[in-house]
Chains A and B, each alone.
Chain A
């Protein structure tokens, strides 16, 4: 079974600075999908960014970008120009491809709590 590990339970960053959140995963599959979700205190989960494993180019969404290292099974999230509104729990998630017997199930890491200091 696939597992997702976020080794940093908590991180902090100064406003306007850059922070990187780590995520590693364990899988024997060659094709899969990786996600970062944000959970603010409101508890609602929000998709931050998505990466397909077959794409070598790292995904980018405005101030959010990933460093996808397939061989190392690493998927870190970089937040540039951090803002107070970025403060939240961040979850890394993995999904198997449907074509290889997977389902729509997302496997989540335990999360990293990000604090942004003014």
Chain B
């Protein structure tokens, strides 16, 4: 079990550029989550999927953010256009069942810096 795999580990981009973050969940997990971590706001849920279907996207900050899960083994979080306030660590996590029955397995995160 390789765990949740995120790429890239670090991303530095200029304001206005498109950024795509990638995630491969643990095989067989039905739930996939995208979290954002900043010093000011801590960890916040952006969106989560169940069986590849978005269930709760109420945490997505604005239309510049979009997330997709085209299949059970891959998800992307896209920011277009990026802004300096998007700088944060973005975590992907997966869970076998819901979070009350199985733990969240987090990836190592992508540190995004927008200059």
Interface of A with B (CB < 8 Å)?
A: 33, 35, 37, 42-47, 50, 52, 91, 95, 97-98, 103-106, 108-111
Contacts and interface: CB of A to CB of B under 8 A. Distances in A.
Given A45-B91, A95-B100, 13 more contacts: A37-B104, A44-B3, A45-B93, A45-B104, A50-B103, A91-B43, A103-B48, A104-B98, A105-B56, A105-B59, A106-B43, A106-B45, A109-B42
B89 A43 contact: yes
Interface in B48-70: 48, 50, 55-56, 59
A44 B106 contact: yes
B100 A98 contact: yes
Given A47-B103, A47-B104, A50-B103, A108 B43 contact: yes
A92 B55 CA distance: 23
Given A43-B108, A44-B107, A45-B91, A98 B42 contact: no
Interface size class of B (residues with CB under 8 A): 20 to 34
Nearest to A46: B106
Contact of B33 (A33, A98, A104, A109): A104
Contacts of B100: 33, 52, 95, 97-98
Contacts of B31: 104
B95 interface: yes
